[in-house]
Amino acid sequence: MEGKSPQLPSTPTYQEDPRYRQGINQLSNLGNQATSFQGLPSEMTEAISTSPKSTSMFLEGLKAELEPIFRDIRRDTMNQLAANNQLESSTTASKFGEIESDLQKKYISQSTTFGLADIDRALQNRMSLFGMGLDTTKAATGMAGESESTKNQFNLQNYENVVAKDLYDKQKNLSGWGKALSYMSPLGHDIFEMQGYENVPGIGVWDALPMATSMFGGGLPGSSVSAGSSAGNF
């Protein structure tokens, strides 16, 4: 309608996909679990822990492997002692004592090696899991920071929108040079373009005066400034 001032739309509101925030929370929780070794799935807990069950199974297998070997050693030793008529001597007890000692040493050596390897495996898995947890926490923190940065940037721009709308609403009640002076704010740039000006530069005093003269007519008392006479010609 002719003579009716244009109306500015309402300022927008920030919208964030809830799945994005949910993903950040899940990553953060996973990072906390991985670095604290708490709340992990049972399979992962087993991977970072020593395994008494595995050690027990290893010892049973080791016993099954060594017993026949030492049984043969005992038999051969007894046959040798019998051939030398030494079965009733102190040599017999000494020989069989040595055999039993060798058997126990084998058990201890092999079980210690297996136990240390099991501990090393658990520690290596813990270190890997902890590193993964740190990386996951870092990723979640970065995503949260980007989200907040985007939101803050939106809020800053939206604040300019609110101020521009407020200036626009106020300038409608002004006339003549009162409007021109209200346009000297950088936010007046958008308002000039709404009035039909194109490629509006940064608004300063000398940019605003010729445009205001063109829009409202006349000039300042005692001034020779008129439309098209300043560096802000359009």
Name the more confident of 188 and 34: 34
pLDDT band at 5 (very low <50, low <70, confident <90, very high): low
Q: Taking residues 142-158, what's their average pLDDT?
A: 87
- Alpha-carbon distance 145 to 220, whole Å? 51
The percent helix, strand, coil of the chain (3-state, each to 5) is 70, 0, 30
pLDDT band at 8 (very low <50, low <70, confident <90, very high): low
Instruction: State residue 90's pLDDT score.
Output: 73
DSSP structural state of residue 5: P
Q: What percent of the chain has pLDDT over 70?
A: 67
Instruction: State residue 220's pLDDT score.
Output: 47
pLDDT band at 207 (very low <50, low <70, confident <90, very high): low
pLDDT band at 63 (very low <50, low <70, confident <90, very high): confident
Residue pLDDT, tens place only, 79-100: 887 887 777 767 777 888 888 8
Q: Taking residues 174-186, what's their average pLDDT?
A: 51
60: Cβ contacts below 8 Å, ≥ 6 apart: none
Q: Taking residues 105-133, what's their average pLDDT?
A: 91
| pLDDT above 50: residue 227 | no
197: Cβ contacts below 8 Å, ≥ 6 apart: 211, 234
Number of helices followed by number of strands (H, E) in the chain:
7, 0
Domain boundaries defined on the chain: 18-153, 177-216
| pLDDT above 60: residue 60 | yes
CB atoms within 10 A of CB 209: 24
